[in-house]
Amino acid sequence: MIEPIIELKNLSFSYSKNQPILKNINLNVPQGSIYGFLGPNGAGKSTTMQLLTDILQDHDGDIKMFGKSLKEQTPQIFTKIGALVESPALYLHLTGYENLKCITTLKSIDQKRIPEVLKLVGLEGKGDLKAKKYSLGMKQRLAIAMTLLGDPELLLLDEPVNGLDPSGITEVRELLVKLNKELGLTIFISSHLLSEIEKMCTHVGIIHHGELKFEGTMGQLAQRSSKHQITIHTVNAAQQLLLIQEKYKHSKVINENQFQVTLNSKEETPQLAQYAIEKGVPLYQIKAEDGLENWFLSLTK
């Protein structure tokens, strides 16, 4: 069995005795995975990131990376880790190439890596452009390029698509999947966006109020949300719902012209539609709600 690249055992942290931020977190990040660390704002994601990067140090429990205690490997371990915590720190008056050159100088990395990482993140030909002229997505890819200069085995990314427009989000998501598949990088991503995590991650951990509520593969997460909710647009929803409640008891009115039915599986949707038609319910729209997202929201409310 391959040892996890990140292993947290009973990790707890607080800024004061009466304000625990993390409560006995047990977490395992498999090597070669894209691991999504999910939770609403304030759940403890950024604190965990700061502990993993040794920005915060005073904690209870164990942090192991690459099979050894983090404390035993600091600071040498950071030659194997690329980290982007909070917003990217770029010199906007410098070019993309010059920003990367600053990092190579600070870390004594060969400048030959700069064209390589610019190509990796899709910014070849843009290195001579000043960073202030980059789009938000380009700035984020430049920041990720900075984390790649040392040829790391592990990337730690805190909210990497936060604040980006749909185009920028797609660019970053496709880049991370590419880095994982082509370079074999293990990527640990914190985010509050389930929809994005769902599209790129192999494994997920869900944290809420400092407690880990779920950990497993995306398939295992989907299985936890086995119920499927169907929203039906009609007229006089309360009246129409009475016509189908004899068969579909798990249903409720949403508003004047919408009601919702909970099914055991999406395969039951055609039977629901047929039954509603037989009962004379006007069907203007039938919409399947995302069971996974609903389950996540109910877990983190």
- Taking only the tens place, the pLDDT of each residue in 1-27 is 567 999 999 999 998 878 899 999 999
Confidence of residue 225 (pLDDT cuts 50, 70, 90): low
Sorted by sequence, the CB contacts under 8 Å of residue 257 that are 6+ apart come out as: 233, 234, 235, 236, 237, 284
Q: Report how far residue 286's alpha carbon sits from residue 112's, in angstroms, rounded to the nearest whole number.
A: 56
68 pLDDT more than 70: yes
Question: What does DSSP say about strands 19-29 and 6-16: parallel, antiparallel, or unpaired?
Answer: antiparallel
Q: Report how far residue 241's alpha carbon sits from residue 291's, in angstroms, rounded to the nearest whole number.
A: 21
Please state the domain extents for the chain. 6-224, 228-299
**Mean pLDDT of the region 136-151:** 93
**Mean pLDDT of the region 263-269:** 82
294 pLDDT more than 80: no
Q: Report how far residue 84's alpha carbon sits from residue 148's, in angstroms, rounded to the nearest whole number.
A: 10
CA 100 vs CA 12, 44, 67, 148, 201: distances in Å: 36, 30, 30, 10, 28
Are the C-beta atoms of 108 and 132 separated by less than 8 Å?
Answer: no
Domain 6-224: top CATH class: alpha beta
Give the pLDDT of residue 238.
92
Give the pLDDT of residue 290.
64
Three-state secondary structure along 132-187?
HHCCHHHHHHHHHHHHHCCCCCEEEEECCCCCCCHHHHHHHHHHHHHHHHHHCCEE
Give the pLDDT of residue 58.
86
Could you tell me which residue, 135 or 288, shows the higher pLDDT? 135
Q: Report how far residue 161's alpha carbon sits from residue 172's, in angstroms, rounded to the nearest whole number.
A: 7
SS3 85: coil
- Taking only the tens place, the pLDDT of each residue in 275-284 is 999 999 999 9
Per the prediction, the chain carries an average pLDDT of: 90
Residue 273: what are its φ and ψ, rounded to 5°?
-60, -45
- Taking only the tens place, the pLDDT of each residue in 155-201 is 999 999 888 888 889 999 999 999 999 999 999 999 988 888 888 99
Tokens of residue 292, six digits? 């996974």
**Which CATH code, of 1.10.10, 3.30.460, 1.10.3470, 3.30.70, is assigned to 228-299?**
3.30.70
Give the pLDDT of residue 250.
86
Task: Point out the least confidently predicted range of 23-37, 58-72, 143-157, 227-241.
Answer: 227-241
Question: pTM (2 decimals)?
Answer: 0.81
Half-sphere exposure in the Cβ direction for 55 (13 Å, CA): 11
Give the pLDDT of residue 288.
79
For the chain, give the longest Cα–Cα distance: 74
Confidence of residue 301 (pLDDT cuts 50, 70, 90): low
Percent above pLDDT 70 for the chain? 96
Which 8-state DSSP code applies to residue 192?
A: S
CA 241 to chain centre: 37
